[in-house]
Amino acid sequence: MVGVRLIPEQPLFRTASERLVWNAIREQMREGDVLISSLRFTDQQAGDVEADLVLLMPDRGIAVIEVKGGQVSYANGEWTTTNGGGKRRIHPVAQARRAKHAVRNFLSRQEGWPHGLPHAEWFIAMPFTDVDGDLGPEGRRAQLIDRVDLAQASQLVSAVLAASPEAERLPAGPWVDEAVDLLLHAPGATTAVEGEGRATDSRTGTALALVGVGLVSAIVCALLAWLLGWIGVVVGVGAAALLTAGAVLLARTKRVSHPVVLIGLAVITAAAGGVIATVAIQSNQAPAPTLVVTECNNNYDPCVPTDSTVTCSEVGVRVRVVGTDEYGLDRDGDGVGCESMPDPGSQTPTAQ
């Protein structure tokens, strides 16, 4: 398309709804139009500003578009959307209006903007919803873009902007380029991440992220099980559950959707859990009993002190009678003495 500008040219969309609306408007843009995806910046007065789509039209003004997926409805003073995750409340008018005013006020305060308050309107795009009329006292039908409207979304936006008295006061010259430059250089300004090859639904990235979390957690769980036995299994499974829950939460808040970030979080958290578990287990393990003797009586293995009054409590470990049971440690005559004591394992008495 000659004469239009897309920022970025191929965004990595967070939702399928944003992708549908972006593609529809992109195909309808006219000479000089600019379309920005997921504009984010920080304003001194408005704070953190978020706008799903911003369409700048040289002969019309600025359209700030809030995109809502699922089946959107309005009843009893509340907006809701219903999708695979159930029904939840939304506030599209408040979000769209706030973003519109934030963009206008920000531009009007910049030294490089001599045009006062720019002409702007807000819109709500609902690509999976059919709308019959107004949705509440604030949701005027003209500012609602539903599933059927997508085919002429840009024309509908243009008509609303042109119908406003402010349209007559549009500045002359390349005001669109000036506005775009100021918005992209606002404090903390970001737009949608550039995609590779084609736009991708962010749910694909989230799915890959969860797969990565699961794989890393499974590897860590297997390693801990091999090193620590069943305790390692418990630690590994717990880490996997926490990491998956964290990944879902981050994806739902739309603050982290790139799989590399979540996989990195999985590695760090799982590794920390493994270290903590290992330290805890080692600190709770009592050292194997060690029998310290001055002289060895070789009738026993391990040897016991050469002392006719020695008892099993003094020996402290189970012994095997390999000669004469001089001290009566093998009471049942089965060749094993001090059977109530722990096995010496690899520990052997050391002479002093």
Q: In terms of DSSP H, where are the helices of the chain?
A: 16-28, 92-108, 153-163, 175-184, 202-228, 230-252, 259-284, 312-315
293 and 225 assigned to the same domain: no
pTM: 0.57
318 and 232 assigned to the same domain: no
98 and 131 assigned to the same domain: yes
Per-residue burial over 127-155, b if 16 or more Cβ lie within 10 Å, else e, is bbbebeeebeeebeeebbbbeebbeebbe
324 and 352 assigned to the same domain: yes
What's the confidence (pLDDT) of residue 198?
39
Instruction: Count up the domains in the chain and report the number.
Output: 3
Q: What domain range includes position 318?
A: 288-352
Domain boundary residue among 157, 184, 211?
Answer: 184
Distances 51 to 42, 54, 96, 300 between C-alpha atoms, Å = 12, 7, 7, 83
Backbone angles phi, psi at 199, to 5 degrees: -65, 140
Classify residue 66: in a domain, yes or no.
yes
Summarize the confidence of residues 266-284 as an average pLDDT: 58
48 and 146 assigned to the same domain: yes
Question: Is residue 197 very low, low, confident or very high in pLDDT (cuts 50, 70, 90)?
Answer: very low
211 and 137 assigned to the same domain: no
Domain boundary residue among 184, 216, 238?
Answer: 184
Q: Is the pLDDT of residue 181 over 80?
A: yes
Classify residue 89: in a domain, yes or no.
yes
CATH of the domain at 110: 3.40.1350
Cα 95–Cα 28–Cα 22 angle in degrees, nearest 5? 40
- Across the strands, what pairs with 120? 62
C-alpha–C-alpha distance, residues 239 and 274, integer Å: 9
Tell which residue, 54, 26, 93, 96, has the closest CA to residue 182.
Answer: 54
70 and 94 assigned to the same domain: yes
Domain boundary residue among 268, 284, 300?
Answer: 284
* SS3 state of residue 38: strand
75 and 168 assigned to the same domain: yes
Q: What are the pLDDT digits (tens) for 231-244?
A: 666 666 666 666 66
Classify residue 190: in a domain, yes or no.
no
Whole-number mean pLDDT of the chain? 80
Q: Hunting for tokens 């191929």 — which residue is that?
A: 10
279 and 302 assigned to the same domain: no
Q: Is the pLDDT of residue 280 over 70?
A: no
Classify residue 197: in a domain, yes or no.
no
Tell which residue, 99, 108, 101, 95, has the closest CA to residue 182.
Answer: 108
Q: Is the pLDDT of residue 75 over 50?
A: yes
Classify residue 159: in a domain, yes or no.
yes
